[in-house]
A and B are shown apart, each in its own frame.
Chain A
Amino acid sequence: QQQVKQSPQSLIVQKGGISIINCAYENTAFDYFPWYQQFPGKGPALLIAIRPDVSEKKEGRFTISFNKSAKQFSLHIMDSQPGDSATYFCAASSGNTGKLIFGQGTTLQVKP
């Protein structure tokens, strides 16, 4: 029940296309859902996050869509660029503990 399942494992998108990564969870106590971006050899960095009181959050080209009833959330990257090529992790947590449960990760490659 503590798992967060992420798909796909890898994704190849043409420059200018839309990248979509999906995550699903079981624990209804989760109340914070961030996405982290990680470049090779670096630590992950917070990209965007959402709480379950809203269904969508947009920051620039990055949008989180949240479906509370389906217990799913997704990351959409509009107008994908080669510089977006990285590994993306979804995560979830409850309360203010900072203990994040991470998905398995998605390696995104944006082709020029």
Chain B
Amino acid sequence: DGGITQSPKYLFRKEGQNVTLSCEQNLNHDAMYWYRQDPGQGLRLIYYSQIVNDFQKGDIAEGYSVSREKKESFPLTVTSAQKNPTAFYLCASSIGGVPGANVLTFGAGSRLTVL
């Protein structure tokens, strides 16, 4: 079945540690996204990538980094510079650049808790 796989589902981190969240898709989508979800704030865009080896900052990129070395993969690193990293992180993908590109398919999410 085609879809998006995020791992791990739950992650605990000590303050000062970097952590990397994995996102893999087998939908053959060109574009991939990372959103952060906090209660009462909806989903906010962290980073997005329209093609391999290229990515752009979203609205809340500070303290995060990404890479896009393969079409299928778009890992997100939450660095120690992120002041409030406890949140639910959602990865999404879309066809990209054509009509229908704004239909996003989401993964099941990764919940990060900083201890």
Contacts and interface: CB of A to CB of B under 8 A. Distances in A.
Interface stretch (A43-51, A53-61, A66-74, A78-86): A43-51
B41 interface: yes
Nearest to B98: A96
B110 to A, nearest CB: 10
A102 interface: yes
A73 to B, nearest CB: 15
B82 interface: no
A90 to B, nearest CB: 9
Nearest to A89: B42
A102 B45 CA distance: 9
Interface string A84-110: 000001000100111110111100000
B102 A32 contact: yes
Contacts of B41: 104
Contacts of A46: 103-105
A41 B107 CA distance: 11
Interface residues of A, number: 24
B94 to A, nearest CB: 4
A99 B33 CA distance: 8
Interface residues of B, number: 30
B97 interface: yes
A65 to B, nearest CB: 20
Contacts of B43: 44, 89, 100, 102
Interface string A2-26: 0010100100000000000000000
B86 to A, nearest CB: 16
A99 to B, nearest CB: 6
Contact of A103 (B33, B42, B96, B99): B42
Nearest to B30: A98
A104 B42 contact: yes
A92 B43 CA distance: 12
A105 B40 contact: yes
Interface of A: 4, 6, 9, 32, 34, 36, 41-46, 49, 89, 93, 96-100, 102-105
